[in-house]
Chain A
Amino acid sequence: AQTVTQSQPEMSVQEAETVTLSCTYDTSESDYYLFWYKQPPSRQMILVIRQEAYKQQNATENRFSVNFQKAAKSFSLKISDSQLGDAAMYFCAYRRGGGGADGLTFGKGTHLIIQP
């Protein structure tokens, strides 16, 4: 079974600085997808970024980028120029490839605090 591990229950960063959230996963599959979701206090689950395992290039979305290390099974999220609105729980998630209706396997989350 696949597992996703987020080793940082909580992280704190000063506004405008950069922070990196860690995620490692375990799978025997070669085809899969990785995601970062953000959950602010409003409870919504918001997709931040997605990475296909077959792509070597790291995904980026504005201030958000990932460092995907397939051999190490590591998928960290970097947030540049942190803003107060980035304060939230961040969840790393895994989904097996091949289409179908597989659910996401989530890590336990990292609570990100932005200090003004």
Chain B
Amino acid sequence: DTAVSQTPKYLVTQMGNDKSIKCEQNLGHDTMYWYKQDSKKFLKIMFSYNNKELIINETVPNRFSPKSPDKAHLNLHINSLELGDSAVYFCASSQEGIGQPQHFGDGTRLSIL
């Protein structure tokens, strides 16, 4: 059983399109996150949700909108895709509590043509 699963694993699309990436965790965790890994492998937090509420929203264009229908799911919707959005997007989850590690999904590689 995959603990944190993302779909799709690969996404190739044209500039200007709208796309979504889905994330589900079956670990019973309270908190979920989205990270972006750029072409130089640098990872940066984008959003975090705790029990369906947005906690962190780093400096991310408002074309990116996370949606959490329940605490096991955190989807990422991206409008009007731009070339600079090409990256690997990782979903992660952790149990609320001091110092609990984050468990990552396998990532979604988004390529904008």
Contact = CB atoms under 8 A, between A and B. Distances in A.
Main secondary structure of the interface of B (DSSP, over half): strand
Size class of the A contact interface (CB-based, 8 Å): 20 to 34
Contacts of B103: 47
A84 B34 CA distance: 30
Contacts of A45: 90, 92, 104, 107
Interface residues of B, number: 29
Contacts of A68: none
B50 interface: yes
Nearest to A47: B101
A108 B106 contact: no
Most buried by A among B55, B90, B97, B98: B98
A106 B50 contact: no
Interface in B1-47: 31, 33, 35, 40-45
Contacts of A108: 40-42
A35 interface: yes
A44 B104 contact: yes
B98 A97 contact: yes
Interface in B47-67: 48-50, 55-56, 58
Most buried by A among B43, B92, B98, B102: B43
Q: Which 4 A-B pairs have the closest CB atoms?
A: A103-B45, A45-B104, A101-B55, A33-B99
Given A103-B35, A103-B58, 20 more contacts: A39-B41, A43-B107, A44-B107, A45-B104, A47-B102, A50-B99, A50-B101, A52-B99, A95-B99, A97-B99, A100-B96, A101-B33, A101-B48, A101-B50, A101-B96, A102-B48, A102-B56, A104-B45, A108-B41, A109-B42
